[in-house]
Amino acid sequence: MTAVDDQGLSFAGVARLAQLVRDREVSPRELVEFHLERIAQLDPILNAFRVVLAEQALAEAAQVERRLAAGEVLPLAGVPIAVKDDTDVAGVSSMCGTAIDTGPVSRDSAAVRRLREAGAVIIGKTNLPEFGAVPMCESPTWGVTRNPWHLERTTGGSSGGSAAAVAAGMVPGALGTDGGGSVRIPAACCGVVGLKGQRGWISTKQSPERAYRFHGLHHIGALARSVADAALLHDAMAGLEPNDEIVSATPPPTLIEAVSREPRRLRIAMSFKPVIPVPVSDEVRRPVLETAELLRSLGHEVVERDPVYPPAAVLSVFALMMHGLADEIERLPTPELLERRIQAEGRTARLIPDWLAHRALAARDRMSERGLRPVADFDVLLTPVLGKPPVPVGHLEGLGPTRAMARILGFMPFTPTQNYTGQPAMSVPVGISPHGLPEAVHLVGRPNDGLTLISLAAQLESERPWAQHRPPAARYRTPA
């Protein structure tokens, strides 16, 4: 196929693979066949994919080859990309982690269409918990998605299938969605970069049959093995659509340009204050403190400073999430097929009146400004991603909605705020714990300032290279 060995292809990354295709060192078909074989080897163990689109992907690879021959410039030429199964891919059902199949959708979502336009090949759809309602990738219908670093630990969620697929080298990059941390949490658990851009930079428009109804909390994001690859994917997906419900105040910048740009001396606020008062373990504090020291050594100013989380803002986030979940469930033809805990959450969600959700939306800008005011003179906020390291599989098993919610909030107390404020944020790997699990930090940019965020993340990555690390599952093979 090529002089590049198997492991080189598995972990070469989005930009490098696209370059290999453009340089004709590997063909789009060969690249897709290689990744299909790797999925066949690893997915029976990891369960990252809900469906693999082998025939469709090979046909798309042939089309990319024709486009290249015709002289098209394709930034993602022939690169296999996975798509989370709550985002529409034409001709495929969007199951959203449930047992409810409403049939194949007629059209790609806007983000998927833009990936194809950039030359990407959609190779499959990845698993998530039902409606992404919990930050662990487990469902009664599609089973448990395993963490490539430790099979008995969670991948995080809800984009757990996408994160596991990237971490194990089954794909170089993936689309995830983030309504309260669902790109950043699994990125931290699986040791990949997870980027959620500014609200409105990537359209959330779906096929005509479906629509996101989570009141602007929902963002589409990128999961990849490097900051540059995440930026490249984000840029490929970015852009507005006619009649978009959510429109950014600024057009999306070209984030890839910031990767090679040395950041100026930045003022960075470091905080361990969660959105709600829950314990934050020393195991997630330590990587943040070590990163702060590294940033100081690079010339940045790092000061401990906490945002303010007004109780009304916290309640607003909760109200919008629950109201959106109720909307989703009410549209289902057979909601009785949902798992019992989600049915119970749906009953609770229906108690959120429309007027309360509308009030939360109306107050969003004011609440966001109040919360950001204490860190307004800083360029970046640095926090943990998680409240504790990746929890064991089955962390919510047998629990009712109230006890499950308490555990969920204890695991993900830092990420929901940015879905309310809409500002860019990302999870960046920074090391491996003594238990062999990835460690990460959470970087939050000023509203509309993704360029500073990317340049800082790229600087961190250059000081602590991560992409060469391979999880144990990258070496697994299914029994003969």
Catalytically annotated residue among 139, 158, 162, 248: 158
Cis omega (within 30 of 0) for bond into 158: yes
Backbone angles phi, psi at 336, to 5 degrees: -65, -10
Q: Is 90 exposed, middle or buried (0-12, 13-18, 19+ CB in 10 A)?
A: middle
Give yes or no for a contact between 103 and 93, defined as CB atoms under 8 angstroms apart: yes
d(CA 302, CA 269): 6
Backbone angles phi, psi at 294, to 5 degrees: -60, -45
H/E element holding 277? none
Structure tokens at 299: 């010339």
121-126 and 425-432: which strand pairing?
Answer: unpaired
Q: Is 158 a catalytic residue?
A: yes
Q: Is 73 helix (H, G, I), strand (E, B) or coil?
A: coil
Using the Cα atoms of residue 350, residue 354, residue 358 and residue 360 in order, give the sign of their dihedral: negative
d(CA 318, CA 316): 5
Task: Report DSSP letters for 158-226, one per residue.
Answer: SSHHHHHHHHTTS-SEEEEEESSSTTHHHHHHHTSEEEE--TTSB-----TT----STT--EEEEEESS
Please name which of 157, 249, 247, 266 lies closest in space to residue 205, comparing C-alpha atoms: 247
Catalytically annotated residue among 84, 125, 196, 205: 84
Catalytically annotated residue among 182, 226, 248, 455: 182
d(CA 20, CA 184): 29
Write the Ramachandran bin of 187: left for phi over 0, alpha for psi from -120 to 50, otherwise beta.
alpha
Give yes or no for a contact between 116 and 90, defined as CB atoms under 8 angstroms apart: no
Give yes or no for a contact between 129 and 161, defined as CB atoms under 8 angstroms apart: no
Q: Is 178 exposed, middle or buried (0-12, 13-18, 19+ CB in 10 A)?
A: buried
Q: Is 182 a catalytic residue?
A: yes
Positions marked catalytic: 84, 158, 182
